Structure 1
Amino acid sequence: MATKEPKKRGRPPKPKLTEAERKAVALASANGRDAISTVIADFNQTPAPHNRNVTDAHMETVLARVAAGETVKGVCADLGISAALVRQRVYDAPEVYGERLHQARRLNADQSFEEMIEVARDPSLEVGRARLIVEVLEKMAKVNNRATYGDKVQVDQRQIVINYDPEKHGGFI
């Protein structure tokens, strides 16, 4: 009876950008995020998004656009890559991308807070609509930067100490 060998897990090796690709990405980044998204999509022509490799250029685009207020899922949809692969790359290399993604989200929280003030001051919006937008932006700011915008929680720890002497109480409490 033949036994199956276990499947090898892990990521395929990272593809390296050629010099021409690096120059095109640098030129596109100078022209704005839409241009860089187009260039990256042109270099990565695999039809199924879940099969595409997430390159360093993809990660840089994701980080920049998350810091500008977009979601990882929205950026990945624009780039035609899987958000799950981006998150996996963050988890695989937390020292490279993990802290940078946290920093991008903290910047996103600051932007959400500023946008919340602008919405609250906008007289053209209906009160109910403005309140909903402010609540959503406030929640985003709290989640993305708990230290600055999160609720402060104080834990009350009290201990009750009982001096029990079994001889005085006849062995019972």
Structure 2
Amino acid sequence: MSIQAQQINQWLNELSQGSAEPLTLDEDGRCTLVADDVELVVSTTPTSDQFFINLSVVDLPESGQELFYRQALTFNLFQQDTRGASLAIDPQSNEMVLCYTHAIEGTELNHFNNIVQNLIETTKSLRTQLEQTVRDAANAPQPSAPAAPAPQASDYAPAPAMSGHAPDHLVHFMNMA
């Protein structure tokens, strides 16, 4: 086990004090836990000097996807709403996931604990807002008429060639100056 993984295990062990089972990274460098109805995975790789935290935010919706994805991307803008993390799609679980990466070096137990707690709170907030977006999309009035078909390249004719008059007008204008 790498020194980095040992450090993360130490933090996880401290976080799980008082729990029935201590938290540790598995042989793949991952530890899954649930806190406040939020599933999160803390992980690292043998060659990495960073730890990764991925939190399950919400299942991807069947309907209202346009508004859902628009809202998710808006949350990613400037990363203020995500507290420096990023929203991403996990195609295996069909979920929206909050992803965070941080350097192991220079991180203390209190800092690690604050990161985990802040990401849990952020995930709960994002979940509430994204679920509301899906509900709003479901309640939005549907268009009564089908949308006009998108224009095709063949719908546009090439611009006609300029007649011989334009250059003459330019010459005449230049002679007046």
TM-score, normalization: structure 1? Answer: 0.25
* Higher helix fraction (1 or 2): 1
Structure number with the bigger relative contact order (C-alpha 8 A, sep ≥ 6) is 2
* Higher strand fraction (1 or 2): 2
TM-score, normalization: structure 2? Answer: 0.25
Greater CA radius of gyration, 1 or 2?
2
